[in-house]
Amino acid sequence: MAEGLGRAYRVAAGAVRWWRGSGARLGVVAAALTAALTAALTAASLLQAGPAAGATAATTRPEAITGALVAPDGRYIVVPYTAGGCVQGATLTATGTGSTVTLVLRQVLSGAPICPDDVVIGMTVSVTLRHPLWGRSLVDGSTGRPIPYFDGRRLLRVTYLPPGYRFSAYLLYPDPEITAWEREFVSSGQVTAPVDVEQVPGNAAVGPSWPVIARVKVGSRLAALEVFTSEGQVFGRAMTWQAGGYAFAVYTVIVRAGQRLISTAELAGIAGGLRS
């Protein structure tokens, strides 16, 4: 089933990531986030609402699968799709043989006679296999092409989280050219800002491009501590480093009014608690 319809703040991630690398004043940032959240809420309401008045019956159409995340258990698979406009959701089905798992992604169309093109958002949809993928190929049933996927067994385990935090979702990595995903963790009631863990193959620069204010120990390595401030207030912290053929970033950024940030020590505890 479609993921994250009740998580509009996640759709604002594009604005947040732009914010991470900008020197914008808070007013500009707030305006960007407000616009993104408004679009997200509008799109979510369109996705959840039924066909518009005068619309024909809902239909579906195939969408090519550009990538996937296969969770460490080998059974849970997440793929992205494009929503908004007349696309009110998506379905993902899987069929398997002894050597291949075939996925078919279909957009669910509202059937409305006019489709707004100003509300387009990235969403995800998932499917759970009866048996783990491992040892079999993953194929797009609509195109017949192999699906590039991130092998979740390579993700380092998160062994420490501040009290009250829990796993929330796998999120798309912001660069579509890189086959990588983020894991997001949220606090109870989202009183404190979410924490995201990026693990990107290779030595690409990842995470925010905020000013580096210090070097801190992450296990036996030094990580760059980056901090985003606006008008004297701290709105985001990140730690970035490279190890074992991956680039890592553990970051937190305020995405809702009234949220607090976890401390630098807690962020370092999460980063230092990553284990193979």
pLDDT tens digit sequence for 46-57? 444 444 444 455
Residue 33 maps to a domain: no
Joined together, the tokens standing for residue 129 give 């296999």
CA torsion 228-230-232-236 (nearest 10°) is -30
Beta bridge partners of 246: 201, 243
Candidates 107, 142, 274, 128; CA nearest to 198 is 274
In a domain, 1, yes or no: no
Cβ pair 8, 40 in contact under 8 A: yes
Is residue 190 located within the same domain as residue 218?
yes
Q: Does 101 share its domain with 126?
A: yes
Structure tokens at 67: 């990538």
Which of 91, 123, 152 delimits the end of a domain? 152
Tell me: do 136 and 193 sit in the same domain.
Answer: no
**54 lies in some domain:** no
Backbone angles phi, psi at 47, to 5 degrees: -65, -35
Say what the alpha-carbon torsion angle 154, 159, 160, 163 is, to the nearest 10 degrees.
110
86 vs 117 pLDDT, higher one: 86
pLDDT score for 83? 85
Assign 57 to helix, strand or coil. Answer: coil
- Residue 118 is predicted with a pLDDT of 60
Measured at the CA of 211, the angle between CA 207 and CA 216, to 5 degrees, comes to 75
Distance CA 242, CA 274 (A): 13
Residue 30: count other Cβ atoms within 10 Å of its Cβ: 15
144 and 178 co-located in one domain: no
- Predicted confidence band at 209 (pLDDT cuts at 50, 70, 90)? confident
Q: Are 99 and 133 in contact (CB under 8 A)?
A: no
Per-residue pLDDT, 27: 41
- Give the CATH number, domain containing residue 177: 3.40.1000.10
Beta strands (DSSP E) in the chain are 2-3, 59-62, 68-70, 76-84, 87-96, 100-109, 120-128, 137-140, 149-151, 157-158, 165-172, 181-187, 195-201, 212-218, 221-230, 233-243, 246-253, 274-275
- Let me know if residue 100 belongs to a domain: yes
Q: Does residue 225 fall inside a structural domain? A: yes
Closest CA to 249 of 196, 181, 212, 204: 196
Q: Are residues 139 and 162 in the same domain?
A: no
Q: Do 138 and 161 have their domain in common?
A: no
pLDDT at 234 (0 to 100): 94
> How many domains in the chain?
2
**d(C-alpha 50, C-alpha 65), whole Å:** 25
Predicted confidence band of residue 208 (pLDDT cuts 50, 70, 90)? confident
Q: How far apart are CA 258 and CA 242, in angstroms?
A: 33
* Structural domain boundaries, residue 268: 155-275
- The neighbouring-strand residues paired with 91 are 106
Is the confidence at residue 126, as pLDDT, over 80? yes
Q: Domain end: 107, 136, 152, which one?
A: 152
203 φ, ψ (degrees, to nearest 5) = -115, 30
Pair (76, 145) in one structural domain: yes
64 and 118 fall within a common domain: yes
**pLDDT over 50 at 25, yes or no:** no
Please identify, among 152, 174, 192, the residue that sits at the C-terminal boundary of a domain. 152
68 and 164 fall within a common domain: no
Inter-residue contact 195 to 167 (CB < 8 Å): no
Does 176 fall in a domain?
A: yes
Same domain membership, residue 109 and residue 186: no
Does residue 9 fall inside a structural domain? no
Q: Is residue 122 part of a domain?
A: yes
Percent of the chain with pLDDT over 90: 56
Same domain, 170 and 271: yes
Contacts of 169 (CB under 8 A, 6+ apart): 3, 4, 7, 10, 124, 183, 184
Q: Are residues 161 and 271 in the same domain?
A: yes
